[in-house]
Chains A and B, each alone.
Chain A
Amino acid sequence: DTGVSQDPRHKITKRGQNVTFRCDPISEHNRLYWYRQTLGQGPEFLTYFQNEAQLEKSRLLSDRFSAERPKGSFSTLEIQRTEQGDSAMYLCASSLSVRSEQFFGPGTRLTVL
């Protein structure tokens, strides 16, 4: 399967713990995006990478959130000191160019107890 993959698919954690998610984009795509989706809402943009450079961060991305894409391939999203409000589906997407469609991965569903 050459689509976008994400790991883990589900994560349950206790409030205050740190979690890290991984995204592997489609191999030839140099643009990578992270989104967060809560129940009844469309996905909300969090951050964007072009190759290894993080070029934009939404105001939704608090200081507890950090994302990296060290070699311009896979990306990680870390949430420190998780809060119950962080419970959501975290989606990763990739695209080939600025005018092409974004393809989404299956998401990581985070539950913070």
Chain B
Amino acid sequence: EDKVVQSPLSLVVHEGDTVTLNCSYEVTNFRSLLWYKQEKKAPTFLFMLTSSGIEKKSGRLSSILDKKELFSILNITATQTGDSAIYLCAVPLYSGGGADGLTFGKGTHLIIQP
């Protein structure tokens, strides 16, 4: 069965710390992996990763994919209280009908303490 596993499920750090969030996956017909940030509302898109070993970066956030070991990490440096959120990892499941519904992990609940 296809699955996406995130760790840790929760993490509490102090402002200014660096955090690394993990996502491992077991899916057939892998094509991409996505990271989303969810506060008290809908998930907002962060990164889409398709190629192994190429880091994607946006400000203090960065992510990289390892297709051989089937995992991805999301790094946040110099964390701020506004980074507090649930970070979701997802992989599209491609069916013969062309659908690509996302399978999500349970998310990492990140809390940044001032």
Q: Are the C-beta atoms of A45 and B48 separated by less than 8 Å?
A: no
Number of B residues whose C-beta is below 8 Å from A? 28
Q: Are the C-beta atoms of B98 and A43 separated by less than 8 Å?
A: no
User: Could you say which of B34, B100, B107 has the most chain A C-beta atoms within 10 Å of its C-beta?
Assistant: B100
B29 CB to nearest A CB, Å: 12
Q: Are the C-beta atoms of B106 and A40 separated by less than 8 Å?
A: yes
B108 CB to nearest A CB, Å: 10
Q: Which residues of A contact B93 (CB under 8 A)?
A: 45
Q: Complex Cα distance A93/B102, Å?
A: 10
Residues 90-113 of A contacting B (Cβ, < 8 Å): 91, 93, 95, 98-99, 101-107
Q: Which residues of B contact A48 (CB under 8 A)?
A: 99-101
Q: Complex Cα distance A106/B43, Å?
A: 8
User: Could you say which of B4, B34, B43 has the most chain A C-beta atoms within 10 Å of its C-beta?
Assistant: B43
Q: Are the C-beta atoms of A43 and B104 separated by less than 8 Å?
A: yes
A-B contacts besides A43-B43, A58-B101, A101-B48, 17 pairs, CB < 8 Å: A4-B42, A33-B102, A40-B106, A41-B107, A44-B104, A45-B102, A48-B100, A50-B98, A50-B99, A55-B98, A93-B102, A99-B32, A99-B50, A101-B34, A102-B45, A104-B43, A107-B42
Sampled A-B contacts (12; CB under 8 Å): A41-B107, A42-B106, A48-B100, A50-B98, A55-B97, A56-B101, A91-B42, A101-B45, A101-B48, A102-B45, A103-B45, A104-B42
Residue numbers of A with Cβ under 8 A of B are: 4, 31, 33, 35, 40-45, 47-48, 50, 55-56, 58, 91, 93, 95, 98-99, 101-107
Residue numbers of B with Cβ under 8 A of A are: 4, 31-32, 34, 36, 41-45, 48, 50, 88, 90, 93-95, 97-107
